Structure 1
Amino acid sequence: MTPIRHNGPDGPDRSGRADRPARPDGDPVLDAVRDCVLAVGVRRTTLTDVARRAGVSRMTLYRRRPDVRSLVGDLMTREWIAVAVGAMPERAPGTKARTLIVEGLVAGVRAFRAHPLFRKIVDVDPELLLPYVLDRRGASQEALLSLLADHLREGHDEGSVRAGHTERQARSLLLVVQSFTLSLRTMTEEDDPELGSEAFLAELRTLLERTLTP
């Protein structure tokens, strides 16, 4: 899923500890926002908290973004895009585009559901995700659609993906994986292997394969 105009992965452990080194490609302010959200959630995070963790003044933050939610938006964009890109498998010689799409989307659902920031937001501040599920697409969704469209075009050209309208196919795939990402736990019974998360991810793989196979 990728919802969102806010995003990216890693993040601290679930305790929200901030004594962890920043990501190599990290933005100290977004790293600080991530640590605050993991520690106390979005609603309890303040610009003062973020400024203190980032080692900058509140005025520096005000010049960048007017409020915490805007900063969280930037964070989600960074995190979600990183998850989606990182989920795409390494391409071995001879691998077809359809395989990359299917395996990347299944891996992406698994990665999102395990991501500490995503889990925290779903559990504590789920309303942040609703606009990107009900009303509009965000930056991370647009990035994923672009990535999917590139692979779909390649699949069309090589004949591994069913011919069709590329953008419509990409959006349909995103609708499917968003549903699995956001709602899977409402359907699983982890004490029953036939209804556990991995069983449903296998079902997702089958759905995607059958949808894309010519």
Structure 2
Amino acid sequence: MKPIRHNRRDDETVLDAARECVLAVGVRRTTLTDVARRAGVSRMTIYRRWPDVRTLVGDVMTREWVTVALGAMPDSDDSRPRRHQLVNGLVAGLRAFRDHPLLRKILDVDPELLLPYLFDRRGASQDALLEFIEDALRQGHQDGSIRVDHPVRQARALLLVMQSFALSMQTMTADRDPELGDAAFHDELRHILERTLAP
């Protein structure tokens, strides 16, 4: 029996359709039938690739969040210490992630969807970000701008800090007090990251 080949263009069309469905009605009210209709493909096309909505939405989250987080990273600049580039990129990525409409919708309507990635296992987007951070840390070790330590452990610790800011920051901010607003906490995160990574 020949393995099923997946057309990347078709996959992207389905992922786009799933994203629009979730933005419209949330994860719980999205069905694979709705996604197939919006994507203009048969239900069987989707079922062959994704067994259920949660698996499909997991792939949507991976695509969207890796794209937005890594897209916020500045271009590599050999004239600047790697630590500054990494810190600036992580803070910019946090801003972009927290503003992402898919994250906002899930936090508003289906926050329980995120619980497995906080308590049980890492997801593909977390692994992709860890790989990026580990590589940046190793570069910072080499140029002397980042404290030399176990890069995998350092990366995981950084991601834990980032996740708390990304998912819980709204519980600590106050709209009426600029000293407790988003911008102030972004500055605080920058300070934490700089002090954590400095040699």
- The two structures have a TM-score, normalised by structure 2, of 0.93
**Partners of 2:158 and 2:19 in 1: CA distance:** 29
**Partners of 2:74 and 2:176 in 1: CA distance:** 30
**1:48 aligned partner:** 33
Distance 1:108 1:54, change over 3 A: same
**2:19 aligned partner:** 34
Alignment equivalent of 1:203, drawn from 174, 185, 188 = 188
- The two structures have a TM-score, normalised by structure 1, of 0.86
Identical-pair percentage:
69
**Partners of 1:209 and 1:143 in 2: CA distance:** 22
CA positional deviation for 1:78: 0.7
Alignment equivalent of 1:192, drawn from 166, 171, 177 = 177
1:74 and 2:59 are equivalent in the alignment: yes
Alignment equivalent of 1:100, drawn from 70, 73, 85 = 85
1:146 and 2:123 are equivalent in the alignment: no
1:175 and 2:160 are equivalent in the alignment: yes
Cα RMSD over matched residues? 1.4
CA positional deviation for 1:163: 1.1
Aligned residues: 191
Alignment equivalent of 1:155, drawn from 140, 151, 155 = 140
Higher relative contact order (CA 8 A, sep 6+): 1
Distance 1:26 1:100, change over 3 A: farther
Q: What is the letter of the counterpart of residue 128 of structure 2?
A: A
Q: Name stretches of at least 5 consecutive residues in structure 2 with no aligned partner.
A: 1-8
Q: What is the letter of the counterpart of residue 149 of structure 2?
A: G
**2:150 aligned partner:** 165
Greater fraction of residues in helix: 2
**1:63 aligned partner:** 48
**1:110 aligned partner:** 95
Q: What is the letter of the counterpart of residue 56 of structure 2?
A: L
Higher mean displacement: 63-72 or 92-101: 92-101
Q: Return structure 1 stretches of 4+ with deviation > 6 angstroms.
A: none
**Partners of 1:96 and 1:77 in 2: CA distance:** 29
